[in-house]
C-alpha cells in the first residue's frame, strides 16, 4: 500500500510517499509556492491513501487539495483526536490541538514507546510532554528564532536584524541577539524536560525536529535525537492504523 503524507506548515509543505517497507521519496516546497507540488508529485506511483496535517489556513489547504494526485480514497485531513494510535490527549479540547503537534506526538510514541519531550523547531517552536503511558500531558508554543529576531528588529530602535553567532558570553549586539534567541529556545525545552522528569522520576528523551533543530541540538542536555520529518512519521502511522 502506498501512502502519501503531507505536512502543511507555516513555512514549508513537507511530503513523503511510503510503501510497506518505508519511505520511497520525500520532499518539500515553500508554503508560499504550493503550485510547485505539481512538479514534485509528477511521476509518483498512485497513492492508496493520503493523510494531511494543515496548520497554514484554509486558502493553502484549498490550493494543495487541488493538486493532490488521484487516489483510491479521498484524502484524510487530520483533526487531532482524544485517543489515536496509542496516544491519549489531555488537551482541554483535543480537536483544538494543532494537527502537526498531534501527528508528531504519535510519531514520537511509535519511535520510543517511552516518556519523551517532543520538539518541533520551525516558524514557531512547540514543546510537548508525552508520558510513559502514551499520555500527552500538555505543552507550550514559543516564537521561533526568526520570529524572535524579527520582533526585536520591529519593536526596538537599535536592535535591527544583523548577522550573529552563538557565544556563551557575547561581546557584540549581533551575537547577543542570536545567542539570546538560541538560549530562549533551549531554555523552553529544558524547562519542560525538567517538569516531566520531576513528575516521572526519569530523565526523558528529547525528540527534536524542524528546520531550526540544528540551532538548539547542541545546547540541550540529556539524550537528544533529531528526527527528520517527525510529523510525517506520525501521519504514516495514522494512515496505517486507519486502513
Burial 161-183 (b: 16+ CB within 10 A, else e): eeebebeeebeeeebebbbbbbe
State whether 33 and 99 are in the same domain.
no
In the numeric block, the cell 512538479 is attached to 39
Is residue 17, in this structure, part of any structural domain at all? yes
Structurally, the chain folds into a number of domains equal to: 2
Percent of the chain with pLDDT over 70: 100
pLDDT band at 220 (very low <50, low <70, confident <90, very high): very high
Q: Rounded to whole angstroms, how far apart are CA atoms 8 and 17? A: 15
Is residue 156, in this structure, part of any structural domain at all? no
State whether 131 and 188 are in the same domain.
yes
Kindly tell me if the per-residue pLDDT of 242 is higher than 90.
Answer: no
Kindly tell me if the per-residue pLDDT of 232 is higher than 80.
Answer: yes
State whether 196 and 219 are in the same domain.
yes
State whether 89 and 208 are in the same domain.
yes
Of residues 20, 48, 93, 100, which has the active-site annotation? 100
Is residue 55, in this structure, part of any structural domain at all? yes
CATH number of the structural domain spanning residue 97: 3.30.420.40
pLDDT in tens, 142-183: 999 999 999 999 999 989 999 999 999 999 999 999 999 999
Give residue 243's pLDDT.
Answer: 60
Of 184, 217, 237, nearest to 16 by C-alpha is: 237
Q: Rounded to whole angstroms, how far apart are CA atoms 74 and 72? A: 7
State whether 119 and 20 are in the same domain.
no
Kindly tell me if the per-residue pLDDT of 119 is higher than 90.
Answer: yes
The domain of 200 spans 83-145+174-230
As a whole number, the mean pLDDT across the chain is 96
Q: Is 93 a catalytic residue?
A: no
- What is the pTM assigned to this prediction? 0.95
Amino acid at each position: 500500500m502506498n501512502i502519501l503524507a503531507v505536512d502543511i506548515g507555516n513555512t514549508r509543505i513537507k511530503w513523503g510517499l511510503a510503501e510497506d517497507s518505508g519511505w520511497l521519496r520525500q520532499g518539500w516546497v515553500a508554503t508560499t509556492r504550493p503550485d510547485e507540488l505539481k512538479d514534485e508529485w509528477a511521476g509518483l506511483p498512485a497513492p492508496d491513501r493520503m493523510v494531511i496535517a494543515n496548520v497554514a489556513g484554509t486558502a493553502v489547504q484549498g490550493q494543495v487539495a487541488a493538486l493532490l494526485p488521484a487516489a483510491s480514497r479521498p484524502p484524510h485531513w487530520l483533526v487531532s483526536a482524544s485517543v489515536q494510535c496509542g496516544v491519549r490527549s489531555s488537551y482541554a479540547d483535543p480537536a483544538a490541538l494543532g494537527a502537526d503537534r498531534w501527528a508528531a506526538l504519535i510519531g514520537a510514541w511509535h519511535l520510543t514507546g517511552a516518556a519523551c519531550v517532543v520538539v518541533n523547531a520551525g516558524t514557531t517552536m512547540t514543546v510537548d510532554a508525552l508520558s510513559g503511558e502514551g499520555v500527552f500531558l500538555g505543552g507550550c508554543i514559543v516564537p521561533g528564532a526568526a520570529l524572535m529576531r524579527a520582533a526585536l528588529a520591529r519593536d526596538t530602535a537599535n536592535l535591527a536584524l544583523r548577522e550573529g553567532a552563538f557565544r556563551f558570553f557575547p561581546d557584540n549586539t549581533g551575537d547577543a541577539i542570536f545567542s539570546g534567541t538560541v538560549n530562549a529556545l533551549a531554555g523552553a525545552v529544558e524547562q519542560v524536560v525538567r517538569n516531566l522528569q520531576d513528575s516521572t522520576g526519569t530523565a526523558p528523551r528529547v525528540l527534536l525536529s524542524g528546520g531550526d533543530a540544528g540551532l538548539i541540538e547542541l545546547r540541550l542536555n540529556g539524550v537528544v535525537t533529531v528526527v527528520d520529518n517527525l510529523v510525517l512519521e506520525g501521519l504514516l502511522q495514522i494512515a496505517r492504523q486507519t486502513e
